[in-house]
Structure 1
Amino acid sequence: MEAHNSAVKSISERVRHFYEAKTAFRVYHGSTNSTRHANFDREAIVDVSALNNVISIDSEKRTALVEPNVPMDVLVRETMRAGLLPPVVMEFPGITVGGGFVGTAGESSSFKHGFFDRTVLSAEVVLANGTVVTASETSNQELFEGLRGSFGTLGVLTLVEMRLIELKKYVKITYHPTTSIDNAMQRVQQETRREETVYIDGILFSKDSGVIVTGRLTDGTPTSAQPLRRFSRPWNEWFWIHAKSVASKPSSTPVTEIVPVEDYLFRYDRGAFWTGMYAFRHFFIPFTRLTRFLLDYFMHTRIMYHALHASGHTDRYIIQDIAFPAGNAARFVEWVDNVLGIYPLWLCPLRADGRSSMGHPRAYQNDGNVFDGEYINVGVWGPYPSSEPAYVGMNRALEAKAKELGGLKWLYGRAFYTEEEWWTIYDKKRYEALREKYHATSLPTVWDKVKDRGRREDFGPGLKGWLKRVVKGNGLLSGFYGVYKALRGGDYLLKKKPA
């Protein structure tokens, strides 16, 4: 804890320096699981990338003290050693505790435990004037609530205390095939009412074919009727492909398997759900089990995100998650089917309090009424080859449809609203009052952080700049460039120091 306190003191001093100099700054974490364009200025950041330790785990209280840059795979590994497990674990190993708390982060257990931020009991924060405070339900409660979905715009998160649950060795998962959009939504809602169910998500492969996957923690051993299934090794089949094979069997009878806990929690890491499939198409590589095995190294999310940002391919894909009141989710999927035709689609039920974790939204829905029921998230991730105006236009159409149906976007994705539109969805008055109270007006707002900036890179002069422009302007070459940068490693968010 001494090393942590020393690091926090240094962060506090740097924050106070910016505050007294009346200079804006941003918080730098060292990586991102967002698809928004980002480029940090080394001279105007507070670097918290070294806050990446699990400080302690209290097995008796079932709690952990964790620094914000601890990624999910490290958190799971350390808590498992103590016989415990986080209630909500985001599906990509590189997503961090801090990102989960101040961002928008849910998973298949969020229908029961809420978004990741709901598992946090208290938070240590350096306010924008350099003061270090602790916020919880009993201390600085308004700040504690405000931190949810604030994206680091109310202060610098330096430590959280989070609750844990009892660990069991396996997850017993059951695949429930579905035959229509409505059937899938009904199955999701039915399964959330089963007390023994801990995990629920779903995949729609088409309007007529899908699967809802439920799970519960167990120490039971695999059997011939409920075999062991793994998803983490290079020779294992990707999870969604296996789920599709189960859903496509002639019999609609549910199928049950036993999966090691870590394999289940990070089942979508290989291939980043199914978006890795598009990389094979982009490079004209056959999409077979053999090629997936041979290229497995490149198909994990840490590598894929690095390549995605370096290549600029976020401009060629629609990547959005939107939470809808459960009764409206089917209408949105039908719109996606008719307008975009993108499949697969991800379904994830969310607890009724999910809306309050999503970036300071207004309390009411589009029709002016308060909705206090369950939500179903729909993940739309797929290519949209088009000109930039058409690409932006389609994303704006998607945002308009979401607003019409009372949906709310997860803000890791790109936002194409105008500022006026943004503040009709998010509560500017309450949010700005919080920023004023906690001295955060020198920090960027949530709108400043998520508004779309397009791809305006400075490629530089001379031959090197010309080569960069050529590469980034060619889809295939930019893809190879992204792979090269990912293999090379290093920082892909900070601006380079001037020569």
Structure 2
Amino acid sequence: MERHRQAVRLVSATVRSLFERSEPYRIWHGSTNSTRPPHQKAGARVVDISGLREVLSVDAASRTALVEPNVPMDRLVESTLPHGLVPPVVMEFPGITAGGGFAGTAGESSSFRHGYFDETVRSVEMVLPDGEVVTARPDRGDEYEDLFRGAAGALGTLGTTTLLELQLVEAKKFVRTTYRRTSSVGEAVRVIREECAAEKGNDYVDGILFSKDHGVIVTGKMTDDLPSEDEHVQTFSHPWDPWFYMHVRDITKALPSSSSSSSTSSSSSSSSSSPSEGTVTEYIPLAEYLFRYDRGGFWVGQAAFDYFKPVPFTRFFRWFLDDFLHTRMLYRALHGSGESARFIVQDIGMPYESAEPFINYVSDELAIWPLWLCPLKTPSGPSFHPHLRQRQPEPPVSSSSSGKEKEKEKGKRTFDEMLNIGVWGWGPSDRQAFVRANRALERRVDELGGTKWLYAHTYYPAPEFWRVYGSGQQKQRYEALRRKYLATSLPSVYDKVSVKVDNADAVTTSWKPWLKSLWPIGGLWGIWKSIQSKDYLLHRRATWRWRGGDDGVKTRKAKEA
């Protein structure tokens, strides 16, 4: 803990010095999961907090962990599992950090129960823009409650997070995972909402739409038990394992819709299946489930094969190139190559009633498949997180409650339900057409009452951005917090997320971006940058990966076409 205090004192002194000289600065974390153009981050002084990357303690009695902001999800899980605990919300990419989950937006397949990642944070230590170090909690009456609420999702524009206290929950050995086939967009949206009901008892819910007539809703329940000693365990972290989305597609393609009364032959998978119900069930070790999308980055890793077209997208080459096909390496290559300027990576939070029209729009206008579906419990009212812009009425306070009970009920946060739709695929190669496609997407999202994740390319003009994200007095509250905590010299959320189209066009006239635009120079440069990072060693050394043989259980190598 003393090492941590010394590091924070250094950060504090550096920030105070810059504040006194009125110099703008940005924070260097050591890595990023943003797809925003890197040139937008140039030109400011850097405060390096990349050394704050340790899990300081795990308290099994209180089910909490003290972690520094640059602790990635895989190291966090490796630290908590020996205590029989796991974070309630674990971002599916191992390299996403705890600090990034708090300052950004992180909603995953457990978020229909637990909300965004910041809802599982009990306190944060922050260095304010004048160098003062404070601890903020979400509790009513806490001196810095407004700072905690305002900083969640505000992308570090109110201060620098240096420590988080996380709530943990009981972990179990496996996730009993069920794949439920659907045959229409409407059915998929209906089923995923049904699976979020409390009586279903699910710990995890998400879905994949491979097309309008092939969707799969994936539900998971943590368990320590297998139905028999001979039950196989499915893994996704080893080089010869299938990529998760391909595995789901292949074992469900022969199944009928779960709502169909017809009976068809079952999948060739050795997993237990009920074809009349349109489901397949298998057992996945917990950490393997949490990071099941790491290899291939959901399905966008296939874009690397699209780029290097002479390399076939076969199981052999996915095995042979496995070091390059984990999300840490893919992000390094994406930024190094400059290909993020041609790839649409957008996460959209939509009201359930708008989900089908939006998916139809993506299909008709962008022809991007698959799509990811993730149900979310989102905060009611203003937020930089995706949220329902038409706030649902809060439940009434019972007239029979006592004064203290009424005050407690009023203080409770209320939540709404919505659906995250992940839209990830190639966009137009022409720069102007790419921007137009993204702007058209933003307008359609706005028309349907949705909001975007802000980690991605964002092209809103300032008035439109603040109309979408600053409604319900959010802008006024946010600006008041910036004044109160002396953060007006820092970039605002809009300053950080808005892609400066004019600047981007100016940058592309220089020789380096022009050279990288020539195939295959950009791709090879991206590979070289990813190799330099040595991030491939992090996966090779990961201790969360299922090694097999535990309790006499054998690991199944799934059949793959």
What TM bracket, shorter-length normalisation?
A: over 0.9
Q: After alignment, is 150-159 or 424-433 more displaced?
A: 424-433
Q: Does 1:351 align with 2:355?
A: no
The answer for the alignment partner of 1:324 in structure 2 is: 350
Which string of whole-angstrom CA distances, capped at 9 and with x for unpartnered residues, describes residues 252-272 of structure 1? 421100001111000000000
> Aligned to 1:413, what secondary structure does the other structure show?
coil
* Contact persistence 1:396–1:417 (CA under 8 A): yes
Deviations 1:167-202 (A, max 9, x none): 101111000001000000011011000441010110
The 2-side partners of 1:477 and 1:222 are apart by 52
* Residue 297 (structure 2) aligned to one of 251, 272, 286: 272
Q: Deviations over 1:219-253 (max 9, x none)?
A: 01264896311111000000000000122014442
Moved more, 34-43 or 403-412: 34-43
| Residue identity opposite 1:29 in structure 2 | H
Q: 1:360 to 1:216 in 2, by over 3 A?
A: closer
In 2, Cα distance between equivalents of 1:205 and 1:248 = 10
Q: 2:107 is matched with which residue?
A: 106
What is aligned with 1:412? 455
Aligned residue in 2 for 1:246: 251
Aligned partner of 2:495 among 421, 426, 448 = 448
Q: Matched residue of 1:81: which SS? A: helix
Q: Supply the distance in 1 between the matched residues of 2:48 and 2:126 (Cα, whole angstroms).
A: 14
AA at the equivalent of 1:30: G
Residue of structure 2 equivalent to 1:3: 3
Shift of 1:42: 8.3
Which of 225, 250, 255 is 2:280 aligned to?
Answer: 255
Deviations 1:141-176 (A, max 9, x none): 111100111100000100011100011011110000
Give, in whole Å, the separation in 1 of the partners of 2:517 and 2:367: 27
- Offset at residue 370 of structure 1 (A): 7.3
Query: TM-score of the superposition, structure 1-length normalised?
Result: 0.92
Find the partner of 1:289 among 315, 328, 335.
315
Aligned to 2:334: 308
What secondary structure is seen at the aligned counterpart in 1 of 2:416? coil
**Offset of 1:330 from its aligned partner?**
1.2
What RMSD over aligned residues (CA atoms) do the two structures have, in Å?
Answer: 2.2
- Give the aligned residue type for 1:14: T
| Comparing 154-163 and 241-250, the one that deviates more | 241-250
Q: Give the aligned partner of residue 198 of structure 1.
A: 203
Q: Is 2:432 the partner of 1:392?
A: no
Q: Which runs of 5+ in 1 are unaligned?
A: 492-499
Question: What is the alpha-carbon distance in structure 1 between the residues aligned to residue 156 and residue 227 of structure 2?
Answer: 44
Shift of residue 38 of structure 1?
A: 2.3
Alignment of 1:434-473 (within 5 A): 434-454=481-501, 455=504, 466=511, 468-473=512-517
Contact 2:173 2:222 in 1 (8 A): yes
**Equivalent residues of 2:128, 2:485 under 8 A apart:** yes
Give the whole-Å Cα distance in 2 for the aligned partners of 1:92 and 1:14.
31
Structure 1 partner of 2:359: 333
Tell me, yes or no, if structure 1 residue 70 matches structure 2 residue 71.
yes
Aligned residue type for 2:12? S
1:355–1:225 CA distance, 2 compared to 1 (3 A): farther
Correspondence for 1:497: none
Matched, 1:221 2:221: no
- Which residue in 2 is equivalent to 1:496? none
User: Identity of paired residues, percent?
Assistant: 49
Structure 1 residue aligned with 2:480, among 423, 433, 438?
Answer: 433
2:338–2:517: 8 Å Cα contact kept in structure 1? no
- Asked whether the 8 Å contact 2:386–2:451 carries over to 1, the reply is no
The Cα of 1:43 is off from its aligned counterpart by 6.4
Paired letter, 1:278: A
Q: 2:179 aligns with which of 171, 175, 182?
A: 175
Counterpart in the other structure of 2:239: 234
1:386 shift after superposition? 3.0
Q: 1:337 offset after TM fit, Å?
A: 1.1
Aligned-pair CA distance for 1:429: 1.6
Greater Cα offset, 445-454 or 123-132: 445-454
Take 2:424 and 2:94, find their aligned partners in 1: how far apart are those partners? 19
Distance 1:489 1:213, change over 3 A: same
Contact 2:427 2:434 in 1 (8 A): yes
Higher mean C-alpha deviation, range 325-334 or range 301-310: 325-334
Shift of 1:490: 7.7
Q: Which residue matches 1:23?
A: 23
In the alignment, the residues of structure 2 paired with residue 436 and residue 177 of structure 1 have an alpha-carbon distance, to the nearest angstrom, of 51
Q: Distance in 2 between matches of 1:459 and 1:489?
A: 25
Shift of 1:288: 1.2
CA displacement at 1:111 relative to structure 2: 0.3
User: For the Cα contact (< 8 Å) 1:175–1:211, is it kept in 2?
Assistant: yes
Unaligned runs of 5+ in 2: 258-277, 395-414, 536-561
Count of paired positions: 483
Who is 2:164 aligned against? 160
1:355-395 Cα distance to aligned partner (Å, 9 max, x none): 7553598x844xx9879631000000000133111110010
- AA at the equivalent of 1:263: E
Q: How far is the alpha carbon of 1:471 from its aligned partner? A: 2.6
What letter corresponds to residue 266 of structure 1 in structure 2?
F
